[in-house]
Amino acid sequence: MTLTATAPVPPARPPAAQAPAAPPRRLLARLSPYAYIAPFFALFAAFGLFPLLYTAYVSLYRVELQTPGEMEWRGLDNYTALLRDDFFWTALRNTFTIGVVSTVPQLLMALGLAHLLNYRLRGRTFFRVTMLLPYATSVAAATLVFAQLFGRDFGLVNWALGLAGIGPVDWQSGTVASQIAVSTIVTWRWTGYNALIYLAGMQSIPGELYEAAELDGASRWRQFLHVTLPGLRPTVLFTIVVSTIGATQLFGEPLLFEGSISGGISHQYQTLGLYMYEQGWGYFHLGRAAAIAWVTFVLIVLLVLLNTALARRRSRKGTRR
Amino acid sequence: MPTARAARRATLRLGAVALAGALLAACGSGSTGTSADKDGKVTITVDLFGTFGYKEAGLYDEYEKLHPGVTIKQSSTENEADYWKALQTRLAGGGGLADVQGIEVGRIASVTQQQADKFEDLGPLGAKDLQDDFSAAKWAAATTADGRTLGLGTDVGPEAICYRTDLFQQAGLPTDRAELAQKWATWDGYLELGRQYKAKAGAKSAWLDSVGSLYSVIVGQEKERYYDASGKLVYDDNAAVKAAWDLSVKAAQDGLSAKLAQWTPAWNQAFSSGSFATIGCPAWMLGYIKGQAGDAGKGKWDIAPLPGGAAGNWGGSYLAVPKGSAHAKEAFALVKWLTAAEQQAKLFKKQGSFPSNIGAIESVKDVTDPYFSDAPIGRIFGAAAEASPVQVLGVHDGDVNQQITNALGEVERKGTDSATAWSHARKGVENAVG
C-alpha cells in the first residue's frame, strides 16, 4: 500500500479513450493523499483535540465525578481559586525545583557520556545498549524499586550512608530529601536516552573539523568546547525542550514513590500533574482538575517558547561572532 | 499500465475500507465483556479491596459446588482508596463494573446520599426479609432516605489491641491479657506502659506502629466524629476528635511510634521485623497480620481489650450490586449467601472478620485463635461490637480521616508542632471537601 501511495501520479491519459471515467478517477487521485493522512488526523481529533477543548469547557463548571450530570456554571472561578490556593503554588514550586534538580544534572551527564561513547571504545555497542535499558524500564517498576532503595529503615541508600557514618535520612518526609529521591529516579531513567540523542548529533559533526582543530593544536577539551558544543546546538535545544515538557508533566514517579496522591504527608513532592490527579481522582473535583490541566498546558507552551527564544538568541550571537 | 492502474484502484478502495474500519473501530462502543448465558452458565464477577477472605476461606469453591453452572471471578485492590477511585471512574463511565462490588463503611454514606441511582435496590430482589438478620445500625447505614437497600453488611470492625508477647517479655512487661487490660484501662495507662517499654527496648523497637493508626482507633470509639446527625461538618469543634488528636500528638512527642505510614511497604515489612510491639486492631486486622507476619509470627501475637472503655469500631464493609449488571439476580443470590450467618461465622474463624449478621455473632462466641496465642477472639470482639456506639457517617468521612492522619504524620516524622499540624489538616479538609 505504501508503495502505490508514494508512486508518482500517472501522466495524463489519452483523453478520447477514457474521457467518461476520468473525472472521478482524477478526483480520487487528488483526494487519496488526504485519505492516507486522515487516520492520524481523525485519531488526533478524537483523542487529542476533543479532550483538550472539552477540558477547557469542563474547567468553567463545578463538576463532581460522583454526580457528573449536575454541572454548575462557575466562569473563571476555578482559575481565580487556583491563584489563592496554597497547594497549587506548592505544587508549582515543587514541579520547578524537581524539574531543575532532575533535568540539569541529567543533561550534563548525558553530554559527558555521549562524549565518551563517541571515542572508539571496545564494546561500544554494548555500552550504548546498556545506556538505553533504564529508558526501556517501566516507570512503575523503576519507581517501586527506587522506593525500596530509599526506604528509611531498611533501604540500601541509608545503609550505605550509615557505613559512611551519615545518620539515616528520611527520604520520604523531608522536602529536600524527598525531592532529591524523586529526581534521582527521573535522572536514572532519562540520562541514557539523552546521551544517545547527543551521540547521534555528535556523529553528524564532520570529522574534518576535528582534524583541523587538532592541526591547530587544540586539546580534547578545547575540541569539545569549540567544535562539539556548537555543532550540537540544535540537538541540545531539542533535548531541553523535551525535558522541560517532561518535567512539567512529571507524574508517575512522585505518585508511586510512596503511593500517596498528596505527594507526601505535607505535599512536599507533589507536582502539578499529581495535584491535578488528587483533585480529579482523589477528591473527584473534575472542574478544578480541568483548570489545573489547562494552566499546566499554557505553562508548557510558554516555557517551550521561552526556551526556543533564548536558544535562538544565543545561536544568533554565536554566528555573528 | 492497465494492470498497474487496476491495482492502484484496488489499493485505493482497500485504503478507503481500511480507513473506514479504523474509524468505526475508534468510535465503536467497547461493549463490556459480560459472560454468555449459553446453556445456563453464568460467570459472576466480584470486585473487592483489602482482604475480604472469601477466596482464602474457600467460600467461592463451596458456592460453585452448590450451584453448578456458576463461576465466580474475583479481582481485588489492596488499598481501599485506590479501589474507590477506580470504582467511581467506572460508575461515572458506566462500564467495567463487576456484578458485585465491595463498599467500605466510610463510603456508604456517599453511596446512599449521592449515588443511590447507580446501585440496585436489593429489597425487591429478596433483601426485604433479611433485615432482622443484621444489626440495626449496619442495616440502616446502607438504606437510603426513601427506604432502598443498597448493600448487605459483611463484617464490622470492633477494636482491640494486638501485641507481641515475645517483645513484651524481653522488655519485662506482663503478657497476660487480663492484667494488661487492667493496666491500660485508660489511654493514659496505655501510653504509660509504652514509656516503660521504650525505656527497656531502646531504639530497635517502638511501642506502636504509627500515631495515625492510634488516632483512628481512638476516634473509632466515638459516636459523632466528623459530621453531626444533620450532615454538617463538625470535626473542627468536636471535643472528642480533639481529645484523640491530643493523645496521638502526646504519643508522637514521647517517641512511642515507629513512624510508619499505614498501608505502605515499609509498614508491611515491620509486621515481621518487630519494629513495633502493639497495634490498634480492628477485627479485620487479624487477617492482615497473618498475611504480613506469616507463619513465623504464629504464637508471638496476642490480643487484649481496647483501652478507654473497650468499645469501638473501625471499618467494616458491604456488598452491593451496581445497576446494569447482566446478572443482578444471580449476583444478589451470591451476596445473600456470602453474608448469611453460616458463611460469616466461617469467615471469622478463618480470617478474623467479625460478623455483622446477628446469627453469626451468636455462633462465634467461643471462638479462639491459635495464631494469636489462643486468644478468645469471639468474646473480646463480641464484647467490643456490642458496646460500640452507632456511628454517624458522613459523605467525606474517608477524606477527613486521611487529612488528619497525614497531619499526625507530620508531627511524628517531622516534629511539626500540634497547632501548625492541625491547621494543615484543616486546610487539607477544606481543599478536599470544597
Residue from A63, A144, A266, A288 whose CB has the most chain B CBs within 10 Å, to mutate: A266
Q: Are residues B133 and B187 in the same domain?
A: no
Q: Is residue A32 in a domain?
A: no
Looking at the predicted structure, is the pLDDT value of residue B75 above 90? yes
- What pLDDT was estimated at residue B427? 95
Q: What is the mean pLDDT of chain B?
A: 89
pLDDT in tens, B290-343: 989 999 999 999 999 999 987 899 999 999 999 989 999 999 999 999 999 999
- What pLDDT was estimated at residue B249? 98
Looking at the predicted structure, is the pLDDT value of residue B4 above 70? no
Say how many C-beta atoms besides its own lie within 10 A of residue B221's C-beta.
25
- What pLDDT was estimated at residue B35? 46
- What pLDDT was estimated at residue A313? 77
What is the b/e burial string over A227-253, where b = at least 16 CB atoms within 10 angstroms of the residue's CB?
bbeeebeebbbbbbbbbbebbbbbebb
Interface check for A319 against chain B (CB to CB < 8 A): the answer is: no
Give the pLDDT band of residue B24 (cuts 50, 70, 90): very low
Amino acid of residue A111: L
With beta carbons under 8 A apart, name residues in chain A contacting B27: 46
Residue contact A262–B264, C-beta within 8 A: no
- What pLDDT was estimated at residue A133? 92
Chain A to chain B Cβ contacts (< 8 Å) = 102
Q: Is residue B252 in a domain?
A: yes
Q: Which residues contact A140 (CB under 8 A, 6 or more apart)?
A: A252, A256
Q: What is the mean pLDDT of chain A?
A: 88
pLDDT in tens, A45-97: 999 999 999 999 999 999 998 888 889 999 999 999 999 999 999 999 999 99
Q: Which residues contact B78 (CB under 8 A, 6 or more apart)?
A: B49, B50, B263
With beta carbons under 8 A apart, name residues in chain B contacting A7: 8
Query: d(Cα A272, Cα A270) in Å, to the nearest integer?
Result: 7
Residue from B12, B404, B410 whose CB has the most chain A CBs within 10 Å, to mutate: B12
Rounded mean pLDDT of B249-267? 92
Interface check for A140 against chain B (CB to CB < 8 A): the answer is: no
With beta carbons under 8 A apart, name residues in chain A contacting B424: 266
Query: d(Cα B280, Cα B289) in Å, to the nearest integer?
Result: 11
Expressed as residue numbers, the domain containing B96 is 38-156+316-363
- What pLDDT was estimated at residue B39? 63
Q: Are residues B68 and B85 in the same domain?
A: yes
Q: Are residues B277 and B395 in the same domain?
A: yes
Q: Is residue A109 in a domain?
A: yes
Q: Is residue B370 in a domain?
A: no
Q: Is residue B13 in a domain?
A: no
- What pLDDT was estimated at residue A78? 95
With beta carbons under 8 A apart, name residues in chain B contacting A65: 88-89, 92
Evaluate whether B165 touches B175 at the Cβ level (below 8 Å). Answer: yes
Q: Is residue B141 in a domain?
A: yes
Residue contact A147–B12, C-beta within 8 A: no
Question: Smallest CA–CA separation between B286 and chain A, in Å?
Answer: 24
Residue contact A265–B406, C-beta within 8 A: yes
In which residue are the cell numbers 544517545 written? A196
What's the domain count of chain A? Answer: 1
User: What is the DSSP annotation of A183-212?
Assistant: HHHHHHHHHHHHHHHHHHHHHTS-HHHHHH
Q: Are residues B299 and B219 in the same domain?
A: yes
Give the pLDDT band of residue A22 (cuts 50, 70, 90): low
What is the b/e burial string over B81-105, where b = at least 16 CB atoms within 10 angstroms of the residue's CB?
bebbbebbebbbeeeebbbbbbbbb
Q: Are residues B187 and B301 in the same domain?
A: yes
Looking at the predicted structure, is the pLDDT value of residue A295 above 70? yes
Question: Smallest CA–CA separation between A169 and chain B, in Å?
Answer: 11
Q: Are residues B282 and B394 in the same domain?
A: yes
Question: Smallest CA–CA separation between B58 and chain A, in Å?
Answer: 31
Interface check for A4 against chain B (CB to CB < 8 A): the answer is: yes
- What pLDDT was estimated at residue A16? 47
- What pLDDT was estimated at residue B196? 96
Looking at the predicted structure, is the pLDDT value of residue A109 above 90? yes
Give the pLDDT band of residue B31 (cuts 50, 70, 90): very low
Looking at the predicted structure, is the pLDDT value of residue B13 above 80? no
CB contacts under 8 A, A 61-100 vs B, are 65-68, 85-87
- What pLDDT was estimated at residue B362? 87
Residue contact A39–B22, C-beta within 8 A: yes
- Residue in B15, B23, B261 nearest the CB of A42: B23
Q: Are residues B189 and B258 in the same domain?
A: yes
pLDDT in tens, A158-204: 999 999 998 889 999 999 999 999 999 999 999 999 999 999 999 99
Question: Smallest CA–CA separation between B334 and chain A, in Å?
Answer: 27
Give the pLDDT band of residue A19 (cuts 50, 70, 90): very low
Residue from B8, B13, B119, B417 whose CB has the most chain A CBs within 10 Å, to mutate: B8
Looking at the predicted structure, is the pLDDT value of residue B177 above 50? yes
Q: Is residue A13 in a domain?
A: no
- Residue in B14, B114, B424 nearest the CB of A67: B114
- What pLDDT was estimated at residue B50? 85
Expressed as residue numbers, the domain containing A200 is 85-320
- What pLDDT was estimated at residue A260? 87
Looking at the predicted structure, is the pLDDT value of residue B27 above 50? no
- What pLDDT was estimated at residue B6? 46
With beta carbons under 8 A apart, name residues in chain A contacting B273: 154
Q: Is residue A265 in a domain?
A: yes
CA distances from B20 to A28, B194, B201, B208 (A): 16, 71, 72, 63
- What pLDDT was estimated at residue B28? 37
The chain A residue lying nearest B81, using CA atoms, is A282
Question: Smallest CA–CA separation between A29 and chain B, in Å?
Answer: 9
Looking at the predicted structure, is the pLDDT value of residue A18 above 60? no
Residue contact A66–B16, C-beta within 8 A: no
Looking at the predicted structure, is the pLDDT value of residue B205 above 70? yes
Q: Are residues B44 and B133 in the same domain?
A: yes
Residue contact A10–B5, C-beta within 8 A: yes
Question: Smallest CA–CA separation between B29 and chain A, in Å?
Answer: 14
Interface check for B89 against chain A (CB to CB < 8 A): the answer is: yes
With beta carbons under 8 A apart, name residues in chain A contacting B211: none
CB contacts under 8 A, B 4-33 vs A, are 4-5, 7-9, 11-12, 14-16, 19, 22-23, 26-27
- What pLDDT was estimated at residue B135? 86
End-to-end CA, chain B: 72
- What pLDDT was estimated at residue A8? 46
Q: Are residues B176 and B282 in the same domain?
A: yes
CATH of residue A309's domain is 1.10.3720.10
Q: Are residues B188 and B49 in the same domain?
A: no
Looking at the predicted structure, is the pLDDT value of residue B102 above 90? yes
Q: Are residues B257 and B394 in the same domain?
A: yes
The C-alpha cell that represents A88 in the structure block? 497549587
Higher pLDDT, A120 or B373: B373
Looking at the predicted structure, is the pLDDT value of residue B16 above 70? no
Query: d(Cα B53, Cα B235) in Å, to the nearest integer?
Result: 33
With beta carbons under 8 A apart, name residues in chain A contacting B7: 4
How large is the ipTM? 0.82
The chain B residue lying nearest A265, using CA atoms, is B406
What's the domain count of chain B? Answer: 2
Q: Which of B399, B361, B349, B317 is CA-nearest to residue B100? A: B317
CATH of residue B339's domain is 3.40.190.10
pLDDT in tens, B206-221: 999 999 999 999 999 9
Give the pLDDT band of residue A315 (cuts 50, 70, 90): low
pLDDT in tens, B141-152: 999 999 999 999
Say how many C-beta atoms besides its own lie within 10 A of residue A115's C-beta.
19
Looking at the predicted structure, is the pLDDT value of residue B401 above 50? yes
Q: Which of B9-23, B31-45, B164-178, B401-415 has the lowest mean pLDDT?
A: B9-23
Rounded mean pLDDT of A129-151? 93
- Residue in A65, A258, A262 nearest the CB of B264: A258
Q: Are residues B306 and B253 in the same domain?
A: yes
CB contacts under 8 A, B 42-81 vs A, are 79, 81
